[in-house]
């Protein structure tokens, strides 16, 4: 899975989750789930998030910052995520 810009990896699929910043790179995707809607003035809105692993780090990235469709092909859906 490729990230096209610098992004924040979060501990949950919502923008108020704690973050770690990553530069654009390729990540290992685990699964995807719906979460908080993220809006970008250029790319529109999307409420899908993908759980990724990078070395010893893992977390959620909004699909709006990943290359592909809003709901990514070849990335399975996660089991239900508890909304907050």
What is residue 32's predicted lDDT score, i.e. its pLDDT? Answer: 95
What is residue 57's predicted lDDT score, i.e. its pLDDT? Answer: 79
Q: For the whole model, what pTM was predicted? A: 0.76
Phi-psi region of 74 (alpha: psi -120 to 50; beta: other; left: phi over 0): left
What is residue 84's predicted lDDT score, i.e. its pLDDT? Answer: 43
What is residue 11's predicted lDDT score, i.e. its pLDDT? Answer: 75
| Residues lower than pLDDT 70 in the chain | 1-6, 14, 17-26, 80-84
What is residue 30's predicted lDDT score, i.e. its pLDDT? Answer: 92
| Beta partners for residue 30, in sequence order | none
**Sheet with 19-22, edge to edge strand ranges:** 19-22, 7-10, 57-62, 44-54, 28-40
68 contact partners, CB below 8 Å, separation of at least 6? 1
């Amino acid at each position: 899975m490729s990230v096209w810009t610098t992004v924040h990896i979060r501990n949950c699929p919502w923008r108020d989750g704690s973050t770690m910043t990553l530069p654009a790179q390729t990540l290992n995707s685990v699964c995807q789930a719906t979460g908080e809607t993220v809006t970008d003035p250029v790319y529109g809105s999307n409420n899908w998030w993908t759980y990724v692993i990078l070395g010893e780090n893992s977390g959620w990235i909004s699909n709006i910052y990943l290359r592909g469709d809003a709901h990514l092909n070849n990335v399975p859906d996660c089991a239900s995520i508890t909304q907050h």
